[in-house]
Chain A
C-alpha cells in the first residue's frame, strides 16, 4: 500500500469511528493494520458529543523551557516594553494572541498588544502608519500583495541576524522556511520583507461521500473538475452545488479566484514587457472556463468572500471548493459544520498546459494553480522598539512556536519545513477541529503547485480594486462580452502601472 493511500485509509477509518459507523474494537484492529498506534486514541479522538481534544494533550502543548529561557535572558534590558501589532484574524495570530502570548509576556517582561481586524483594515492601518511615519505598530503583518509597497519600511531579518548576533535566537534556522514561500511571500527584489508567517494556499477540497456516490475520482484536470461540478449541480441542485467561489465584486478574494483559473490555463497577469496579459488568448480561455464553472456554483458566490465560500461548503450547500486550505480544519469540526469527516483534500488539478515561467511574466509573478495568500511578519523601521520587536518576531516564528500554533488547532499550513514532520503535528491527523490531516497536501502544493502574485508597488491597488471591481461588473453582466471586459481591465491596469 502506498504511503498516500495508507493515509487516506487511516483518515476514512478514523472518520468511520468518529461517526459511529464501526466499533472501537474493529477500529483498533484495523488501525493496527494501518500502522496507527494506539497512541492516537489518547490524543483525542472521541465520539461526537465528547470533548474533542483531551485536555491532557492541550496541557502538554507548552512552549519549550529552552526557548522561554532564551526569551527571558535576551529580553532583560527590555522589560516593561509594550509591543503593538495589527493583524488579520488568522489561525496563527489567534493562537498566539489567545494561548501563547502569556508565555512570552511572562518570560520577557514585555507586553504584547495584538489588534485583530479584517484584512482591509489591517492594511489601511499599516499604510497609514507608514505614510505618517508614526511608529505606533512595532511589527507589521504584511499580506504578500503588499510586500513590494512596504519593502523599504521594514527590516530584512537576515540583516537583523547579522547585525545583532546578541539578539539572534539560537537555532532560529532562517533557512528552515520553505524556499518557495520565501520567494513568493517575503522576497521583493533582493530584500526579505520579514519572514513567511502564514500560508493559506489553494488546495482542492471535496465531499468524498458525494464524489463516491457520483462514481467520481478526484478531478484529474480542470475540465474534468468542471464536468464533475456540473454533474453534481444538475443532479443535486439547488440543494447542493458542485463547486463554489469567493467572488464578491470589488474584493480581493475575486482576484484570487481569477488568478487560479488564469494560471491554470497557462496564462499570466503580466507579460515580460510589463503590460497586462490577462486578455490574451489563454486569458480569455480561462475566463470562458470560469464563466462556465460559475454556473455550477451557488448564486450567492457573487456576494461572498472566503467567508461565505467556506460556509457554503461547511453547511453542505457546495460539494467542493478549490480555495484556501486553512478552511479544512474548520470543516472537520462537528460542532460548527455539517461535513465533519466528509471532506477530502487533494492537490488542485494540474494546469491545462505548461505554466509560463517567471521570465515569461512580469514583476516576479510566479504562475501556479495553487494561489497563495501568505503573509509575512516583519519589524517596522518606524518602530521605537525595534530590538524587542525582533525578539518577539523570532519567538513568534520559531520552530517551537509554530508547532504549537499548528497543533493547537489553527490548522493553517506551517511555513517551516521541519514543522510538518513534528510528531505533535502528525498526531493531530484525526477527524476533528484543528485537524492536520490535510497538511501533506498543503506541503506538496507549496512545493509543486504554488502560484504567487506579481510584486509591484501598484499591485495592492490593482488586486484590491481595479481588477476585482471590473471582474465584478463582468459577472454582473455590465459588459457586452468577455473580451470587452478584459479590454477594459487591460486599459485600466496599464494606465495605473505606467502611473
Chain B
C-alpha cells in the first residue's frame, strides 16, 4: 500500500532504529580512556537492579503518573461540567483556558520556578498569608514538597487540556437520555453517574491514554525546575536516563534505563487499551 509507505518508513527510522540501537547500547558502555564503546555484557542490567537511584526514580515516576492522572482527570471533569453551558462569556473562558497549551513546558517550568521562589515568589507569599506553608519551607527545596511544586506546574498546564477534551465530549452527547431520566425524577448526580459518564467513557479513555503516556515520560518540568533535587526526590526515569547519558557519558546505562521506561509505558498502555477496549 503506497499510501502508507512514507509513514511506515519514517516510523521505522524513528522507532525501530533507536530501539535496536538502545538495546545494542545497553550491552555496551562508553570507555572514557579509549574514547569508544566497549562490550560489557549484561553488566548494565545487573547494575540497574541493584541501583537504589533507579528504584527511587521509578517510584517517583509512578507516583507522578498516578497522582497527576487522577487529579487532572477529576479536576478536568469537574471544570468541564462547570463550563459546559451556553451562558454568555463561557466561550471566552474556554478560550482563555486553552492558552496554557501553547506555552512550552520548559517555559512553564521557569514560570513556576519564579512563582514558587521561596523569597520572591507570589505563591509562597500567598501560602504564607493563608498559613498553609510558612516561608521557612521552600517548596521546591524540601524533599516532601518538591514533587508537589512540580506537579502544580503540570496540573496548571494540562488540566485545561482535559477540560477541553471533556467539553467536546459533553457537547456531542445526545440530550434525550438526560431528559428522559429527569422526567423519571433522577437527580443531577445520578444522571452524571448513570448516564453522562458511561457515555463519555471512550473520550475519557483516550484522554487517559494520551496524558498517561506523557506523564510517564515526564522530563521538562524537573529538568528546569529542580534538576532532580533535593536529593533524589524529583528524579524521574527520563531525567535519570538523561543525566547518565549526557552528564556522565554513560550511554549504555542511560539506554538501559530508557528501555525500562519504554517497557513500562508499553505494558501499561497496552493493558489499558486491552481492558478498556479502545478501538481506533
Residues of A within 8 A of B (CB): 120, 123-124, 127-128, 130-131, 133, 149, 238, 248-251, 298-304, 308, 311-312, 315, 317, 457, 460-461, 464-465, 468-470, 472-473, 475-478
Cβ A308 vs Cβ B143 within 8 A? no
B117, B120, B228, B251: the one contacting A250 at CB < 8 Å is: B228
Q: Which B residues are in CB contact (< 8 Å) with A478?
A: 143, 231
User: Is B212 part of the binding interface, using a Cβ–Cβ cutoff of 8 Å?
Assistant: no
Cα distance, A477 to B145, chains bound together (Å): 13
A128-B249 in contact given A238-B135, A302-B142 (Cβ < 8 Å): yes
Determine how close the nearest CB of chain B comes to the CB of A443; give it in whole angstroms: 32
User: Is B171 part of the binding interface, using a Cβ–Cβ cutoff of 8 Å?
Assistant: no
Determine how close the nearest CB of chain B comes to the CB of A458; give it in whole angstroms: 10
User: Is B178 part of the binding interface, using a Cβ–Cβ cutoff of 8 Å?
Assistant: no
Cβ A302 vs Cβ B231 within 8 A? no
User: Is B35 part of the binding interface, using a Cβ–Cβ cutoff of 8 Å?
Assistant: yes
What is the 8 Å Cβ interface bit string for chain B, positions 117-156, against chain A (1 contact, 0 not)? Answer: 1111000000000000001111111110000000000000
Which residues of B (43-83) have their CB < 8 Å from a CB of A?
none
A251-B227 in contact given A298-B118, A303-B118, A308-B119 (Cβ < 8 Å): yes
Determine how close the nearest CB of chain B comes to the CB of A219; give it in whole angstroms: 23
Instruction: Name the residue on A nearest B224 (C-beta).
Output: A118
| 7 A-B pairs (CB sep. < 8 Å) | A124-B246, A250-B229, A250-B230, A298-B119, A299-B136, A300-B118, A478-B231
Instruction: Name the residue on B nearest A470 (C-beta).
Output: B231
User: Is B232 part of the binding interface, using a Cβ–Cβ cutoff of 8 Å?
Assistant: yes
Instruction: Name the residue on B nearest A299 (C-beta).
Output: B136
User: Is B247 part of the binding interface, using a Cβ–Cβ cutoff of 8 Å?
Assistant: yes
Told that A250-B230, A302-B118 touch, could you supply 8 new A-B pairs with CB distance under 8 A? A124-B246, A149-B32, A250-B232, A303-B140, A308-B119, A460-B248, A472-B229, A478-B231
Instruction: Name the residue on B nearest A477 (C-beta).
Output: B143
Cβ B249 vs Cβ A131 within 8 A? yes
Q: Which B residues are in CB contact (< 8 Å) with A120?
A: 227, 247
A476-B230 in contact given A128-B246, A133-B35, A149-B32 (Cβ < 8 Å): yes
Which residues of B (30-45) have their CB < 8 Å from a CB of A?
30, 32, 35
Cα distance, A468 to B232, chains bound together (Å): 10
Q: How large is the interface on B (under 10, 10 to 19, 20 to 34, 35 or more residues)?
A: 20 to 34
Q: Which A residues are in CB contact (< 8 Å) with B35?
A: 130-131, 133
Determine how close the nearest CB of chain A comes to the CB of B162; give it in whole angstroms: 29
Secondary structure at the A interface, as helix, strand, loop or mixed, is: helix
The 5 nearest A-B residue pairs measured at CB: A300-B118, A249-B230, A303-B141, A302-B141, A250-B229
Determine how close the nearest CB of chain B comes to the CB of A304; give it in whole angstroms: 8
Cβ A312 vs Cβ B119 within 8 A? yes
User: Is B243 part of the binding interface, using a Cβ–Cβ cutoff of 8 Å?
Assistant: yes
Q: Which B residues are in CB contact (< 8 Å) with A303?
A: 117-118, 138-141, 230
Instruction: Name the residue on A nearest B124 (C-beta).
Output: A300
Cα distance, A478 to B229, chains bound together (Å): 13
Cα distance, A53 to B40, chains bound together (Å): 61
Cβ A300 vs Cβ B143 within 8 A? no
B32, B138, B227: the one contacting A302 at CB < 8 Å is: B138
B30, B135, B231, B248: the one contacting A472 at CB < 8 Å is: B231
What is the 8 Å Cβ interface bit string for chain B, positions 210-248, against chain A (1 contact, 0 not)? Answer: 000000000000000011111111000000000100111
Cβ B141 vs Cβ A465 within 8 A? no
Q: Which A residues are in CB contact (< 8 Å) with B143?
A: 473, 476-478
Q: Which B residues are in CB contact (< 8 Å) with A464?
A: 247
Determine how close the nearest CB of chain A comes to the CB of B183; give it in whole angstroms: 58
B30, B117, B142, B248: the one contacting A476 at CB < 8 Å is: B142
A249, A300, A461, A473: the one contacting B248 at CB < 8 Å is: A461
Instruction: Name the residue on A nearest B134 (C-beta).
Output: A299
Q: Which B residues are in CB contact (< 8 Å) with A131?
A: 30, 32, 35, 249, 251
Q: Which A residues are in CB contact (< 8 Å) with B137?
A: 299
Q: Which A residues are in CB contact (< 8 Å) with B118?
A: 298-300, 302-303
Q: Which A residues are in CB contact (< 8 Å) with B246?
A: 124, 127-128
B119, B226, B227: the one contacting A300 at CB < 8 Å is: B119
Determine how close the nearest CB of chain B comes to the CB of A261; give it in whole angstroms: 19
Determine how close the nearest CB of chain B comes to the CB of A274; give it in whole angstroms: 18
Determine how close the nearest CB of chain A comes to the CB of B116; give it in whole angstroms: 8
Cα distance, A408 to B96, chains bound together (Å): 44
Q: Which A residues are in CB contact (< 8 Å) with B135?
A: 238, 299-300
Determine how close the nearest CB of chain B comes to the CB of A361; give it in whole angstroms: 24
Instruction: Name the residue on B nearest A118 (C-beta).
Output: B224
Determine how close the nearest CB of chain B comes to the CB of A240; give it in whole angstroms: 11
Cβ A249 vs Cβ B247 within 8 A? no
Cβ B138 vs Cβ A469 within 8 A? no
Determine how close the nearest CB of chain B comes to the CB of A132; give it in whole angstroms: 9
Q: Which A residues are in CB contact (< 8 Å) with B230?
A: 248-250, 302-303, 472-473, 475-476
Determine how close the nearest CB of chain B comes to the CB of A335; give it in whole angstroms: 17
